[in-house]
Structure 1
Amino acid sequence: MSSNVTPMMAQYLEIKAEHPDALLFYRMGDFYELFFDDAIAAAEALDIALTKRGKHLGEDIAMCGVPHHSAEGYFLTLIRKGHRVAVCEQLESPAEAKKRGYKAVVKRGVTRVVTPGTLTEDTLLDARRNNFLAAYATVRDEGALAWVDISTGAFSVLSCDAAGLGPELARLDPKEVLLTEAGEAELRHIVEDAGAAITVLGNAAFDSTNGEKRLSRVYSVGSLEGFGTFSRAEIAAMAAIVEYIEITQKGKLPLLRPPMRETRTSAMQIDASTRRSLELVRGVNGGRAGSLLSVIDRTLTAGGARLLERRLSAPSRDLDQITARQEAVAWSLEHGDIAATVEDRLREVPDLDRALSRLSLDRGGPRDLASVRNTLAQAETISETLPDELPHVLAETAQDLTGQGPLLDLLDAALVADPPMLARDGGFVASGYDAELDEFRSLRDEGRTVIAGLQSRYAEQTGIAALKIKHNNVLGYFVEVTATHSEKMLAAPLSETFIHRQTTANQVRFTTVELSDLETRILNAGGRCLEIEKRLYSSLKDAILEQAAALFNLARGLAEIDLTAGLARLAREENWVRPKLTKGREFVITEGRHPVVEAALAPSGTPFVANDCDLSDESIWLLTGPNMAGKSTYLRQNALIAVLAQMGAFVPAREATIGIVSQIFSRVGASDDLSKGQSTFMVEMVETAAILNQADDRALVILDEIGRGTATYDGLSIAWATLEHLHEVNRCRALFATHYHEMTHLSDKLEAVANATVSVKEWDGDVIFLHEVKRGTADRSYGVQVARLAGLPATVVDRAKVVLEALEQGEREGKQKAIIDDLPLFSATPAPAPQKTAPSEVEARLKEILPDELSPKAALDLIYELRGLVRTSE
């Protein structure tokens, strides 16, 4: 290092060398500053000014900076653009640094590394969604996926091979995934497809033997057996997460709940393409709007909203669990008055999970303490509102709402109603809670009053009514009497209390030990108040964290109650019904509706056309009908009804009986994947192959227009063979939409295949969509009519009709090619312009009228005249 490097820059370079892969936010007073390449990258990403600060090795040092009080927004922008941020704080004040020497540099160090999966601040997170950090590990050909939301403490793990990683990442939507170097090379494309950032850790982080010890230390247990039986791969994945959190949080661990072990058979399996197709939690544009989640969300708390998304993303396959959830929703629906009272209280419930996490990481503040207090108060009220007799799910959660009376009393007594954001601002401890704090506040806020009281006491003690206590910048506070009273003050016994300080022409000034002490306390009162409040904050935080396990259970209970009440209100408002779930293969929907489409139609007053579906005996319906008739909507609505039923919700139908669905597969819509060099047809075939290779006999498959991306006979043969495979091999329940009418003959050959069609009606050459699904087949696809509705030029539509008639005639006569050869070439001659005709009597009369000159009577007479002309022309 060059000898002319300043001590500050030497410190910067040393710290930067420890974090080469992150942008170093180096605290300088009220700003975070970035230098060299970090400054260039940050200035471009944040669109802020790039400046210079001195030279290094003969070159200008690039620099940019942001205010520390608004840095969180900049962190989020950088993270979204793929950067990591190392936050370097001042670990001492400049005054403390000067004690070590005049040129001593303030000590600094990185206090955290901000990454997509380790955010905790409310300003950086969506309160209604989890923010998962995941890790994938492989031990002796066995894989496992672990994930944690450090902002809520939720920690889970799942045995999962590489083939199952994609669907699980699609379900969890993690923001960051930890991999080994070998794993990164093998799995990068899967993680990138899920939209997550990749972080590579050394193999030591995934060591299962040391990892078990690390996890045991985190939970202060001798063994993990109390939490369940975990495989070596599961331990390795969890251990990697814990190590990464310790690295990024610089040794501080958030409150992590005991790990929950999940199994792939516990939830309905839904792969990534099916999730996109069904738009479960994201609409077609990638946002929440237009998704099923946006339509069904009636939750009132952040915890309830996160629980709803998790349930919707992983519908249960446990019949007893589903039934218990349905019973809770049914109870809330029947007891609307109680549910309404509970919902009023839920509106006042803060985000307890995230408040606890921030407190555990020392990123919290007085408002987090107040969040705990307010949550406990509302939980106590909700508990008192609920009756003793409750369904199993609600009875369990109600038990978690009680037992925190002492903590609530403590926080109630200690905190003001609306505390500030930061502890350093002070003013959050209530008056009367701490006597010492009250005393110093009195000195700080009422110093003059305290001095006046002391002056009155001294005047009474000395018998000198003219005695005054005054203040100046030289002596500070002092007692002043006139010269005539000075002899009394200087004589015993008053001289033992009053110490002479100064004599002027007309006054004599004294001090006392009490007054000197009081002066010191007044001058230091503000600082002492902050010190005391910080100490009290720490003690209150510790009291809360001691009850962390019970508070997490309470938060979980409130989320369950909120979700249950929300689903009940949804059922009441939208007229949804409780579905019947069985262990069989039934799938009978009576007057089912698509919840998202119905919600979109509601503002216009257009009713949604409900339809039936029965896949119990004939488990595959082959659906024909024109485009725009509603086939895709029908396919999706039945899949969504199955998802809603198994998450424990009521469904949009008049009746529904569903045998537990193990998997849902959807191949609906067309898209290419240019990043992989895959055409629309290739994407379609890849997704179809995944369905045929994975679907079991309890799966529900919806397929739309298989084979449309290639030649007609190629497409027909692929669709034909696909349907046969579903019938003979997969033996699943399926809805298969197609324009290949030839396939309708399969219903005669395959016993479990039935034909269905979407009704339409022709009127004056136009096609009217009735959106009604009925048994039978469509006679044609009405493609030309739909093209006309879409606005194709009339010449194109007319030409298409001619070609269609020729092709159909050729197919009937068996000489298609000969007839095609005889077709005249397309003529692009525009349609003749309409001929001009002489104006009618009415038009001629109208041209003569001057509206501004007509009186009301004349206008009325004119109307009768025009009417007479119309009759004459008829």
Structure 2
Amino acid sequence: MTQYTPMMTHYLQLKEKYRDALVFYRLGDFYEMFFEDAKIASHELDLVLTGRNAGAEERVPMCGVPYHAVTGYIQRLINKGYKVAIVEQLEDPSQATGLVKRDVVRVVTPGTIMEELLDEKSSVFLASLVDYGYGYALAICETTTGETKLASIKHDVPTLIQTLISNDIKEVVVNSNFNSKAIKSLDNSYFFTVSVCDESSIKDEYKYLCEEIENVHLLEAIGKLINYLEITQKRSMSHLRKFKETNEEDFLKMDYATITNLELVQPSRTANKSITLWSFLDKTRSALGSRTLKKWVSKPLRNEKLLNQRLDFIDYLNTNFLKREQLKESLSELYDLERIVARVAYGSANPKDCIRLKKSLEVAPNIYSILKDSKIYPEYDNLDLCESIYDLLSRSLNEDVPVYVNDGGVFKDGYNTELDHYREIQRNGQNWLATLEQKEKEKTGIKTLKIGYNRVMGYYIEISKGALSQIKEEWGYQRKQTLTTGERFITDELKEQENILLHAQEKAIKLENELFVDLIAKIKTKLASMQQLAIALGIADANYALAVISSNHGYVRPQFSNEGIMDVKNGRHPILDSFKDMKYVANDIYMDNNITTLIITGPNMGGKSTYMRQCLLIAIMAQIGCYVPAKSAILPIFDQIFTRIGSTDDILSGQSTFMVEMLEANNALQNATKDSLIVFDEIGRGTSTYDGMALAQAMLEYIDAAIGAKTLFSTHYHELTALENNMERVRNKNVEVHEEDQQITFLYKVKDGKADRSYGVHVASLAKIPESVIERSKELLKGFEQSKKHRNDQSQIIVMEKIPSHIKEIEDIIKKVDPNNITPIEALQLIALMKNKTEGKKE
């Protein structure tokens, strides 16, 4: 058996406990990695791999990073899905006897990332997941703010993925025996880090967090989450907010394709710093408000009352311009109250944080009064503004405090009499030193003599090289240090005064540390109140941003229809319309329960995709609670949005364009309802013409007959436009083109009717395809078009018979059945009910 040195043995003991993490082991000014961890870190971080003698026959692989630059290295590893266990020295090496005491102080994971690694406007959520056979229970938290959520969803992996994405989850904690197929979907396909924790009991100190929760599966998820946080964070989780069960049905559901393709909160994989809807709408004045707005964009609402609440506040701000400007001014002075409060709870707050907390509490009443005066958010009418904490901080802290308490000068004079006494000694000592310096200059006649101080030498008398010959023995100067420019001396009198000053300074710093711990303890008594206040301030700021964007761009308040009407006049794409050098062409859209499908044809580059994205973004903005870019807008409140836009192969999951297209289409066909919005952009491109056309038509027919969802369907299969003649709820739209002297101009105007040509050859010409290829294409196209005249292609369209209504009703009944929770008698009753449906009998 290999015998390692005591240090290496200790490292291996820690590594055994944290096998799934890279261990950063603190040695002096470096964090070192050994063995396989060193090889991984060397490869991932481009570090030089060296070796270390550790008692083994061969040198142990090793690499390291400087302690002062460790944050950047950890971030790179976390971004690649690794976890990092940080081992710190727990005692001063110079004071240690034997092996320096070290231990893991924190495990950084993708879901518990250190705040200093995060952009202030970003959030990172961690979720624990419980599979109880016929559903999933989720407990979610954001460690840097303490925000918590709960969700119960059906036992369906696509729904699980959709929930995780919409909640911005970066890491999922599961049992060691969790379903392997689901884990593979999470870990490989959608870039979540999956971690394991089997402990789910809830300690007494955390039971208050879930006192309102009765569901045993949610309680198990909460327990798993808290235990995982304790294991990785090594500190109290007292900043977590109380868990409350939320209904996912209160929010608009959007699948992964929709969130990604529309670039709602982050650019798509192929984009490079492109504008997202969130970044476009983000006129907030604080990081707190920006994160609140991001949540709104990620999870639009379905609750009309809450939507109108946000819209009413936008209206209130834009009709009370002075109030809006006052709100802007106060929000601009607001610090990140949410994260400051979390740092206080974590025990990592510093004096600067406390000053920022004080300044935030100082402006909070101004912001709150505008929120309260609007009478739009009655749930925040009786907020605790934490005046007692503001008064405490005002009385205790100096304005210009250091970051670290050990630097001194944190507390005001007069706050503590003992501290005042030590400071008086130091002030008198400084006066004494100035007097001594002047006295020594007069005694020695050396005008360049000076008294200085550093942490290594203490206090000293410094004499330049040219004056050294003037020193007399009776002065009692004791040589301490030789410099190139002179020498430094001490005297018994100076040494005695140094002891007095340093003792007072040491006592003052120790007392300031004690006072700061006491101050933090007092602030902690108002944690819950400050967290609630932060939520309200974030709402005010997010609403302010929507008010500004609505006002600046001439947006209109959307009206919501319960009759399924979607009637947008002069709608515009919000982002493209904002570009000053672009003259955007506005377009209408009208759909209702009698017109549910629009088949959109027209030339490539003619604006079909932009038109559909415009319609999608207007619908989403309305359900965020924002005014929309249009002359007028009446919209239904959609329950789900499904899209298939774009044609990029999913290389990372090994799926072709066509396979991805079919999977995304299937998700819509399986889960959409009559209250959903489906947008398919040229379905069927990745296969043969007739295969693609057949699939496209079959999907259109199924959506019309079995689902009834509002559908925008762009296509290059012009034959599909004949469906308008056979399907009552289908209408044709085309993108207008002006053609003159064999030159075309895209007008980007959507009008009724079908397009007769695609103008693909013209687009190829715009792309600078060689002229010989263009001319040959025209010849071939002319031949194809002449051949087509001999066929009546439209007569080949075979329209599926409408699915009888009772089949749809039976399908809906079956979808609601939970096979794990149905008794034999209930099953018999269900069969009888479905039999009656087929025979046309009433229930």
User: TM-score w.r.t. structure 1 length?
Assistant: 0.80
In structure 2, stretches of 5+ residues that fail to align are 437-450, 452-457, 460-472, 477-493, 794-843
Identity across aligned pairs (percent)? 36
Task: State the alpha-carbon separation in 1 of the partners of residues 648 and 676 from structure 2.
Answer: 24
Change (3 A) 1:40 1:744: closer
Q: 2 CA distance for matches of 1:552 and 1:63?
A: 44
1:32 is displaced (CA, Å) by 2.5
| 1:645-704 per-position Cα deviation (integer Å, ceiling 9, x unaligned) | 011111111100111111111112212223444321222122111111111000011111
How big is the shift at 1:26? 2.1
1:136 to 129, 142, 145: 129
CA deviation string 1:341-372 (max 9, x = no partner): 11111112111111222222222211221221
Q: Which residue of 2 aligns with 1:113?
A: 107
1:184 Cα deviation from its structure 2 partner? 5.7
Map 1:531-542; keep pairs closer than 5 Å: 531-542=510-521
| Alignment partners' CA distance in 1, 2:688 and 2:59 | 64
- 1:825 maps to what in 2? none
Aligned-partner SS, 2:567: strand
Residues in 1 aligned to 2:420 and 2:47: alpha-carbon distance in whole angstroms:
46
Name which of 298, 305, 318 aligns with 1:333.
318
2:394 matched to 1:412? Answer: yes
- Once the two structures are TM-superposed, the CA of residue 339 in structure 1 deviates from its matched residue by 0.9
**Counterpart among 363, 367, 373 of residue 348 in structure 2:** 363
Q: Once the 2 structures are TM-superposed, how far is the Cα of residue 105 of structure 1 from its aligned partner?
A: 2.0
Q: 1:559 aligns with which of 538, 553, 559?
A: 538
Question: 1:186 is matched with which residue: 166, 178, 181?
Answer: 181
How many angstroms apart in 2 are the aligned matches of 1:299 and 1:505?
Answer: 71
The one-letter code sitting in structure 2 at the alignment partner of 1:109 is D
Tell me which residue corresponds to 1:24: 23
| 1:615 maps onto 2:597 in alignment | no
Name the aligned partner's letter for residue 176 of structure 2.
Answer: E
Residue correspondence of structure 1 range 572-611 to structure 2 within 5 A: 572-599=551-578, 602-604=579-581, 606-611=582-587
- State the SS of the aligned residue for 1:298: coil
1 CA distance for matches of 2:608 and 2:404? 56
Deviations 1:548-585 (A, max 9, x none): 00000111111011011111000111111110013331
SS in 2 for 1:118: coil
1:18-417 to 2 correspondence within 5 Å?
18-94=17-93, 96-98=95-97, 104-121=98-115, 123-160=116-153, 161-163=155-157, 164-183=159-178, 185-192=180-187, 195-202=190-197, 204-205=198-199, 207=200, 210=201, 213-214=202-203, 217-220=205-208, 224-225=210-211, 227-229=212-214, 231-284=215-268, 285=270, 289-383=274-368, 386=370, 389-393=373-377, 395-397=378-380, 399-400=382-383, 402-417=384-399
Letter paired with 1:340: E
> Which amino acid is the alignment partner of residue 171 of structure 2?
E
Note the residue ranges of structure 1 that are not aligned, 5 or more in a row: 99-103, 455-469, 471-475, 478-503, 508-514, 817-874
Contact 1:283–1:289 (CA under 8 A) maintained in structure 2: yes
Inter-partner Cα distance in structure 1 for 2:783 and 2:80: 57
> Does the C-alpha gap of structure 1 residues 438 and 764 become closer, same or farther in structure 2, counting only changes over 3 Å?
farther
| Residue in structure 2 matched with residue 650 of structure 1 by the alignment | 627
**CA distance, structure 1, for counterparts of residue 18 and residue 252 of structure 2:** 42
Q: How many residues align?
A: 742
**Which deviates more, 522-531 or 255-264?**
522-531
Instruction: Tell whether the 8 Å contact from 1:142 to 1:233 is kept in structure 2 after alignment.
Output: no
Q: Residue 724 of structure 1 aligns to a residue in which SS?
A: helix
In 1, the alpha carbon distance for the partners of 2:121 and 2:208 equals 31
Counterpart of 2:321, as a letter, is G
Pairs within 5 Å for 1:369-768: 369-383=354-368, 386=370, 389-393=373-377, 395-397=378-380, 399-400=382-383, 402-449=384-431, 521-599=500-578, 602-604=579-581, 606-616=582-592, 617-768=594-745
Query: Match of 2:744, SS?
Result: strand
Q: Which amino acid aligns with 1:411?
A: L
For 2:748, the equivalent position in structure 1 comes to 771
Pair 1:781-2:775 in alignment: no
Secondary structure of the equivalent of 1:34? strand
SS at match of 2:751: strand
Measured in 2, the distance between the counterparts of 1:452 and 1:794 equals: 89
Separation in structure 1 between the aligned mates of residue 686 and residue 30 of structure 2, nearest angstrom? 57
Taking the aligned partners of 1:22 and 1:677, their CA distance within structure 2 comes to: 28
| CA deviation map 1:384-427 (0-9, x unaligned) | 5x38631322x544643x53111101111222223322333333
Query: Is this contact kept in 2: 1:673–1:680, CA < 8 A?
Result: yes
Which amino acid letter does the alignment assign opposite residue 169 of structure 1?
L
1:605-646 Cα deviation digits (max 9, x unpaired): x21100000002412111111110100011111111111101
Conserved 8 A contact 1:744-1:755: yes
- Is the contact made by 2:371 and 2:540 (CA closer than 8 Å) also made in structure 1? no
Distance across 2 between alignment mates of 1:597 and 1:361? 44
Q: 2:481 aligns to what? A: none
Q: Report the AA paired with residue 42 of structure 1.
A: A
Matching residue's letter, 2:206:
V
- Write the distance in 2 (CA, Å) between the matches of 1:613 and 1:356: 47
Offset of residue 197 of structure 1: 4.0
Change (3 A) 1:281 1:369: same
State the AA in 1 paired with 2:276.
S
TM-superposed CA distance for 1:771, in Å, is 0.4
Deviation at 1:788, TM superposition (A): 1.6
Q: CA RMSD of the aligned region, Å?
A: 2.9
Q: Could you tell me how far apart the structure 2 residues matched to 1:387 and 1:547 are?
A: 21
Instruction: Note closer, same or farther for the CA distance 1:726–1:368 as it changes in structure 2 (3 Å cut).
Output: same
- Residue 13 of structure 1 corresponds to 12
Asked whether the 8 Å contact 1:169–1:191 carries over to 2, the reply is no
- Select between 136-145 and 533-542 the one with higher mean Cα deviation: 136-145
Instruction: For residue 796 of structure 1, report the CA deviation from its aligned partner.
Output: 1.5
Quote the Cα distance in structure 1 between the aligned partners of 2:621 and 2:350: 39
Kindly indicate whether the alpha-carbon contact (under 8 Å) linking 1:443 and 1:450 is maintained by their aligned counterparts in 2: no
Q: Deviations over 1:430-455 (max 9, x none)?
A: 3332222232233334414369999x
Distance 1:453 1:421, change over 3 A: closer
Specify the alignment match of 1:497 in structure 2.
Answer: none
The one-letter code matched in structure 2 to 1:80 is N
- Residues 288 and 404 of structure 1, relative CA distance in 2, 3 Å threshold: farther
Q: How many Å separate the matches in 1 of 2:39 and 2:62?
A: 7
Instruction: Flag the 1:437–1:95 CA change in 2: closer, same or farther, 3 A.
Output: farther
In the TM superposition, residue 96 of structure 1 has moved relative to its aligned partner by 4.8
Change (3 A) 1:814 1:75: closer
Deviates further, 444-453 or 806-815 = 444-453
Deviations for 1:19-51, whole angstroms, at most 9, x for unmatched residues? Answer: 233222222333323333333332333333444
Q: Within 2, Cα distance between the matches of 1:382 and 1:714?
A: 60
Shift of residue 286 of structure 1?
A: 5.4
Contact 2:5 2:54 (8 Å CA) reproduced: no
Change (3 A) 1:25 1:621: same
Query: SS where residue 580 of structure 2 aligns?
Result: helix
Q: 8 Å contact 2:361–2:385 — kept in the other structure?
A: no
- For residue 129 of structure 1, report the CA deviation from its aligned partner: 1.7
Q: TM-score, normalised by structure 2?
A: 0.83
Once the two structures are superposed, what CA deviation does each residue of 1:458-497 show, in whole Å capped at 9, x if it has no partner?
A: xxxxxxxxxxxx9xxxxx99xxxxxxxxxxxxxxxxxxxx
1:707 CA displacement: 1.6
Q: What is the distance in 2 between the residues matched to 1:520 and 1:294?
A: 58
TM-fit CA distance, 1:519: 7.2
Matched residue type, 1:576: Y
